[in-house]
Amino acid sequence: MRYRITGIIYLMAAITLFAGEPIINTLTVEQETARFTRSEDWKSMIQTGQKALKKGIDFYNLRYRLGIAYYQLENYHAAIRHFTRAYRINSADPLLKEYLYWAYRYAGREGDARILAAGFSQELKRKAGVPDRFPGEYLSVSLNAGFPVDKSFTDDYVNDTGLAINGSQFLSKTLGYADVGLYKIFSPRLSVYGSYARLRKTSYLYAQENGVAVTKPDYVTNLNQIYLSGTYHVAQGTDLTFGAHFINLVYLRDRYVFEGLQGRIVTDEITDNDRLSFVSVFHSFPYVTTGMTALFSNLNQNNQIQGDWQLTVYPLGNLNLYGGFILSYVHQDPDENMVITDLLMGGKLLSWLWVEGMYATGDLHHASRHQGYIVYNGMDVITRRIGGRWIFPVSDDLTIRLNYTYQNHESSFRPDNTSLPETNPIHYKSHSITGALQWNF
């Protein structure tokens, strides 16, 4: 009898719980999500939709309304996920196409947006506000000035290396450059970027050859640089980028000429060329973009192979906050290996101001950053970089950027005979300031 009563109690409790639990099926989910959408209760819409998906309930209107809810909350990564699922069920809905296009745009996935818009009718393009030409093309102009923190750091230069060892030591003093770049979109899948930069660098140079020492406090190197890259949108969320960087260096070199028992120094103008090529693949996941880059170069007459792994996280599902890193491995023949780490965090601080902070550490000598766009081919070594960027979107057509970087340098006397160790290490610091204008057209 006791067991029968216990069973009845458990049965009544189960019936009570079941009665209190709302029935969830396709009809009730359709009714509830429609009601939340009409009232613009986006958080309740998402809660109901997620519960339905966990129970295996999945249909077009549910995905479509979840996409709208996340879109209205500016979580474009989640919106894309649900809009894409809805698009697989019904790709003919023009309003869905419009939402998905702008979700791609606001998430920074321009290639996906262009591919989607290429299939729009003229009426839908007009209704959705899709430009007649591909948006995002621009012309940019950058100016840079780099200079040491302590301008007198070379005044007390001393080198105790014996004059019998031929070699040289460079300490960077100033760097200035002007850069002009153009980004052009040729088709929904293919875009190209090209730039030309003119650099002028001054260094403190100490060199010794055949028992003669020479000091040049303002040794000048001029560089002409051409950078070309193309990006092909392979598939949804996936881009393949390839390109090259050509560097022409012009500098003066002294050589000692013997004339009988006497000798004299002759200065020659030397022209040299460095080259770099690369290929990258990037893929966008919800909240995360990751990619890998392989680079091949011959900077300063040495062969380098570099591999980069990059990861960027968007915790809010939009471009208002992001952070990530680049981890690089650099091998230079014959047996020099380096690891470089870049950390980046940025986001929207005000409606008219975006801010980024970065920190990089590692031996940047003979390395490159940003898919080979920035090349470190100087004779000294940059071991650490700390900086920030301020971005001012003045209008839809004009953006102003201001960059500042604080850098740690290390310079050593390098013997011409590479089997000998480097000597006379000197540590110093520098500032780097860059201003840029970007015109969108």
Give residue 22's pLDDT.
64
Full-model pTM: 0.89
Interhelix angle 76-89/60-72, nearest 10 degrees = 160
The span from the CA of 138 to the CA of 395, in Å, is 13
Q: Which two tokens stand for residue 294?
A: 């392989």
Beta bridge partners of 171: 204
Average pLDDT over residues 251-275: 78
Beta strands 238-259 and 262-285: pairing type? antiparallel
Domains and their CATH numbers in the chain: 2-128 (1.25.40.10), 138-440 (2.40.160.60)
- pLDDT at residue 267 tops 80: no
| Helix H or strand E segment including 118 | none
Beta strands 423-440 and 138-148: pairing type? antiparallel
Taking only the tens place, the pLDDT of each residue in 110-141 is 999 999 999 999 999 999 999 888 889 999 99
Dihedrals phi, psi of 372, to nearest 5 degrees: 75, 5
pLDDT mean across residues, the chain = 91
Q: Among 400, 388, 315, 322, which Cα is nearest to 355's? A: 388
Cβ-based neighbour number of residue 138 at 10 Å: 18
Q: Is residue 357 within 8 Å of 149, Cβ to Cβ?
A: no
Q: Is residue 253 within 8 Å of 168, Cβ to Cβ?
A: no
Q: Quick one: pLDDT band at residue 5, thresholds 50, 70, 90?
A: very low
The span from the CA of 258 to the CA of 203, in Å, is 28
Dihedrals phi, psi of 9, to nearest 5 degrees: -65, -45
- pLDDT at residue 419 tops 90: no
Taking only the tens place, the pLDDT of each residue in 22-50 is 678 999 999 999 999 999 999 999 999 99
Give residue 256's pLDDT.
67
Beta bridge partners of 256: 265
Cβ-based neighbour number of residue 173 at 10 Å: 21
- pLDDT at residue 74 tops 70: yes
